Amino acid sequence: MKKALLLIIAIAAFTYNAKAQTVIAAKDAAKHIGDSVKITAKIFSGKTFASNMTLLDIGGFNPNQELTLMIPADAKSKFKGDPATDFKGKDVIVTGKIIDYKGKPEIILLDPKQIKLVLIDSSKGTPIIERQ
């Protein structure tokens, strides 16, 4: 009985955490500083710097982007390929906490699980989620 009760509590806690992410549009990112969110949007551009940090722009080209995704140099090795080119022009689902970086909303991506490609099944016209 104790195990069943603990299992129910664990499932309830997991369900609560899964729902704690707010689904928003990229254009509303600045209104959600400090919130953990889920956003589906297109990557307009990407750039990897000499420091190996990568920036991905959502909702427009820099400096007019609605949201920036930042992959720190020490996390980049976790990502397959080159995120700056691999995600450019593609629709993605991003999850993470929005921070304010110099007056602009930003999500720091520390894990490839935070960003997923959205592909379309051409035979059905339905979205397919693909891991990075």
Is the bond leading into 63 cis (omega within 30 degrees of zero)?
A: yes
* pLDDT tops 90 at residue 124: no
Closest CA to 129 of 12, 38, 27, 32: 38
pLDDT at 102 (0 to 100): 95
Angstrom distance (rounded) from CA 25 to CA 2: 42
CA 55 to chain centre: 12
Q: Architecture of 22-131 per CATH?
A: Beta Barrel (2.40)
At 123, the pLDDT band (50, 70, 90 cuts) reads low
Strands (E), 29-90: 36-48, 54-58, 67-71
Tokens of 130: 């693909």
pTM for the model stands at: 0.79
